[in-house]
Structure 1
Amino acid sequence: MTYGHLSLNMAVVSLLLCIGVGGCNSGDSTVHLTGHVTHDGKPVPRGTITFSPDTQQGNSGHGSKAIIYDGTYTTQESFGLVGGPHMVRIEGFNGVAHGDNLDGKLLFKPHEESYDLPMESGEYDFEIPPSDKKPR
């Protein structure tokens, strides 16, 4: 085997690996979001946000999750999410440790709603409607 064939083989292997892991990252499809999460006009002390691309609206890609701390969240840049339609699930807690749950008690039932997320990185806020009452 000559070095020319080795280089060609390495290029082919690299291309196949790139395609096999979901495409080469050209930096054009993921966004990084930060923002605030409020309920009844107050910051949500602790919680999580789960972002799932809404396939029923033609969006695809990987999802992402962010932690809410003192009413703010930020997605991890290394796990950016795709922009466009998403099903978003938000769980909020009071932040006062209760038994094994260090985040405390639920403030409202988990909120799920479809959102059209921006196609560029930036700030995006979530307001949980007052109709999402505290669970029994």
Structure 2
Amino acid sequence: MKALTLFALLAAATSLGCSGNSGPQSFPVQGKVTYEGKPLSRGTIIFNPVNEALPASRGEIQADGTYKLSLAQKGDGAVPGEHRVIVNSSTQVKQGMEIDDPNYELPRPLVPIKYSSLSTTPLSQTVKAEANTIDIEL
């Protein structure tokens, strides 16, 4: 009898932990990143909430410049509120190229470095408690 009761309590506790939302509510965020009027073809975009207690969201910039932010799951978005935005984009290292190869080239930034640091980025955006389309022009 005691084993059955213990099993029932463990099952209930496990289902409570799995069924609840374990983090802050997020809302979809997508858009397009352009630099000098042209779509940025690669990189990462990060939305960092001004409220540092909240988690940041990130997305991969696609070849056409589009992105979708993810917080806990792919494409789930970002927490609502004001965010500082970081954009990282650089050239790609040639496939199979090793650093000791004489033809090796370090990746070069495709956008000004100021956009890649939280302390220097001039970019900020507000995520609303709804689906968001936020285009970023650099």
TM score, norm. by length of structure 1: 0.64
Query: What is the alpha-carbon distance in structure 2 between the residues aligned to residue 115 and residue 83 of structure 1?
Result: 10
Letter of the 2:11 counterpart: M
The runs of 5 or more residues in structure 1 that have no matched partner are 129-136
Letter of the 2:136 counterpart: F
Q: State whether structure 2 residue 85 is matched by structure 1 residue 85.
A: no
- Structure 1 residue aligned with 2:34, among 35, 38, 42? 38
Give 1:91 deviation, angstroms. 2.3
Query: Using a 3 Å threshold, how does the CA distance of structure 1 residues 36 and 10 change in structure 2: closer, same or farther?
Result: same
Higher strand fraction: Structure 1 or Structure 2?
Answer: 1
Give the aligned partner of residue 115 of structure 1.
125
SS of 2:111's equivalent in the other structure is coil
Query: What is the alpha-carbon distance in structure 1 between the residues aligned to residue 82 and residue 56 of structure 2?
Result: 11
Give 1:6 deviation, angstroms. 3.4
Query: Using a 3 Å threshold, how does the CA distance of structure 1 residues 69 and 96 change in structure 2: closer, same or farther?
Result: farther
Query: What is the alpha-carbon distance in structure 2 between the residues aligned to residue 62 and residue 41 of structure 1?
Result: 30
Q: State whether structure 2 residue 105 is matched by structure 1 residue 99.
A: yes
Matched positions, count: 118
TM score, norm. by length of structure 2: 0.63
How many percent of aligned residue pairs carry the same amino acid? 30
Query: Using a 3 Å threshold, how does the CA distance of structure 1 residues 47 and 3 change in structure 2: closer, same or farther?
Result: same
Query: What is the alpha-carbon distance in structure 1 between the residues aligned to residue 51 and residue 12 of structure 2?
Result: 33
SS of 2:43's equivalent in the other structure is strand
Query: What is the alpha-carbon distance in structure 2 between the residues aligned to residue 117 and residue 4 of structure 1?
Result: 46
Give 1:100 deviation, angstroms. 4.6
- Conserved in 1, the CA contact under 8 Å of 2:45 and 2:87? yes
Give the aligned partner of residue 61 of structure 2.
68
Query: Using a 3 Å threshold, how does the CA distance of structure 1 residues 96 and 7 change in structure 2: closer, same or farther?
Result: closer
CA-based RMSD:
3.3
The runs of 5 or more residues in structure 2 that have no matched partner are 95-103, 116-120
1:61-89 CA-to-partner distances (Å, cap 9, x unmatched) read 32121111231112247153212111211
- Conserved in 1, the CA contact under 8 Å of 2:24 and 2:79? no
